[in-house]
Amino acid sequence: MNNDTTTTVSSSSATISTVNIDDLCEIAETRYHAGERVTVLGLAKEFGFSPNEVRKNLVEKYGSRVTFTRGRTGGVRIA
Q: Running DSSP on this structure, what letter comes out for residue 42?
A: H
Cα–Cα distance between 51 and 45 in angstroms, integer? 8
- Phi and psi based region of residue 72 (left: phi greater than 0; alpha: psi -120 to 50; beta: remaining): alpha
Q: Is the pLDDT at 16 greater than 60, yes or no?
A: no
Percent helix, strand, coil in the chain, to 5, is: 45, 25, 35
* pLDDT per position as a tens digit, 20-74: 777 777 888 888 888 888 899 998 888 888 899 889 988 988 899 999 999 888 8
Q: Is the pLDDT at 9 greater than 50, yes or no?
A: no
Q: Running DSSP on this structure, what letter comes out for residue 71?
A: S
CATH of 6-78, one of 1.10.10, 1.10.1200, 3.40.50, 2.60.40: 1.10.10
- Label residue 19 by pLDDT band (50, 70, 90): low
Q: Domain ranges for the chain, please list them.
A: 6-78
Q: Is the pLDDT at 17 greater than 70, yes or no?
A: no
